[in-house]
Amino acid sequence: MKPAILVTRAVFPEILQLLSQHFQVESNQEDVIFSPPELVTKLQGKQGVFTTASARFNAELLQQLPDLKMIAQMAVGYDNIDVAACSAHRVMASNTPDVLNETTADFGWALLMATARRITEAEHWLRAGQWKKWSYNGFLGADLHGSTLGVIGMGRIGQAIARRSMGFDMKVVYHNRSRLDPEQEARANKARYVSKDELLRTADHVVLVLPYSAASHHTIGADELAMMKPTATLVNLARGGIVDDVALIAALRAKTIAAAGLDVFENEPKFHPDFLSLENVVLTPHIASASEATRRAMAGCAAANLIAALGGERPPNLLNPELWPKS
């Protein structure tokens, strides 16, 4: 008999088709968001789950799921999965790294440019019928070319963002848990490793691409915002919670930094309503990886991990390798 799996959210139909060749699939094309108790009920008797980052897998949930063997997540970030608890319950977990690096880096630049050059603010003004004449000082923004880009979190996506800055003749400084090797630094537009404080003081544009964890919670708060240049922009592509949104709202309101571009928020999809009253912030609904090709690739990657794991093969993106080889 085929193993039973749950697909927690709506997904591309061809992925459901692929999964149903291998599994008995319970799908959710109505895209209902399951509460934790509903998830526990739905997962009874299931050996696998194809999930997105909107479901939380912690010890409390896992101990109620004795049949579960594999959590295949369609996202690179996996702060919603307690990997140590998974290992303790002998549940494998996987994510979808690499397939989204370039698309996410493209979007980082789109958000950075929209923020620095005030594109959405200007468009709202135009749509509101306020464009009566050209003016010498209309929507003056900050240049990208020739400026200093600061990247916090210099993993694969951070490096792809830094590489793109060569075309804008920019300098790159970065901060990361560990320093890159010299070849990687050279490829990332000769990125220079600096302390977080030096980065915040010297960068004209700060981009956040670090994973969320207890250690990275509020990496950018009131003190860090106060170190930034008043002309600086801040872009968060990573996860809500890395920035203290209340402190950011205060800084944007007081214009102690020029502007922010945010694709992620604390408690999303809810977000602090005060962002809506600010003109100097560009807001997008967690879409950095959302190109047609990349979202299909992410779904395919998560499916491949699930098929491998429940078929007795090592999943290519296993997050808890200590569970392999299986004892």
Q: Which residues are catalytic?
A: 239, 268, 286
Q: How far apart are CA 150 and CA 2, in angstroms?
A: 49
Under the binding rule (CB under 6 A), the answer on residue 302 touching ligand GLV is no
Nearest approach in angstroms of CB 231 to ligand GLV is: 29
Nearest approach in angstroms of CB 157 to ligand GLV is: 9
| Binding range to ligand GLV, per CB under 6 A, among 33-41, 75-83, 118-126, 215-223 | 75-83
The continuous run of DSSP H or E covering 97 comes out as: none
Helices (H), 239-315: 245-254, 292-310
The residues in 219-238 that bind ligand GLV, with binding defined as CB under 6 A, are none
Residue 301: C-alpha distances to residues 18, 38, 79, 87, 115 (Å)? 12, 26, 18, 21, 32
Measured from the CB atom, the residue of 95 and 165 that comes closer to ligand GLV is 95
HSE-up of 227 (CA within 13 Å, CB side)?
16
Under the binding rule (CB under 6 A), the answer on residue 289 touching ligand GLV is yes
Question: Are the C-beta atoms of residues 306 and 70 closer than 8 Å to each other?
Answer: yes
Nearest approach in angstroms of CB 201 to ligand GLV is: 28
Count, residues near ligand GLV per rule CB under 6 A: 6
Which of 36, 77, 221, 316 forms a contact with ligand GLV (CB under 6 A)?
A: 77
Q: What count of residues does the chain have?
A: 327
Residue 69, both tokens: 């063997």
Question: Are the C-beta atoms of residues 73 and 94 closer than 8 Å to each other?
Answer: yes
| Binding range to ligand GLV, per CB under 6 A, among 31-39, 70-78, 148-156, 163-171 | 70-78
Q: How far apart are CA 71 and CA 107, in angstroms?
A: 28
Sequence-separated (6 or more) residues with CB below 8 Å from residue 123: none
Measured from the CB atom, the residue of 109 and 148 that comes closer to ligand GLV is 109
Nearest approach in angstroms of CB 207 to ligand GLV is: 15
Question: Are the C-beta atoms of residues 93 and 320 closer than 8 Å to each other?
Answer: yes
Residue 130: C-alpha distances to residues 92, 110, 127 (Å)? 56, 25, 8
| Binding range to ligand GLV, per CB under 6 A, among 72-80, 85-93, 130-138, 301-309 | 72-80
The residues in 90-119 that bind ligand GLV, with binding defined as CB under 6 A, are 100
Measured from the CB atom, the residue of 52 and 280 that comes closer to ligand GLV is 52
Under the binding rule (CB under 6 A), the answer on residue 209 touching ligand GLV is no
Taking residues 30 to 69 in sequence order and writing x for each that binds ligand GLV by CB under 6 A, - otherwise, the string is -----------------------x----------------
Which of 25, 76, 113, 323 forms a contact with ligand GLV (CB under 6 A)?
A: 76
**How far apart are the two ends of the chain, measured CA to CA in Å?**
23
Shortest-Cβ-distance residue relative to ligand GLV = 77
Number of neighbours of residue 232 by Cβ within 10 angstroms: 25
Question: Are the C-beta atoms of residues 76 and 212 closer than 8 Å to each other?
Answer: no
Note the residues at the interface with ligand GLV (CB under 6 A): 53, 75-77, 100, 289
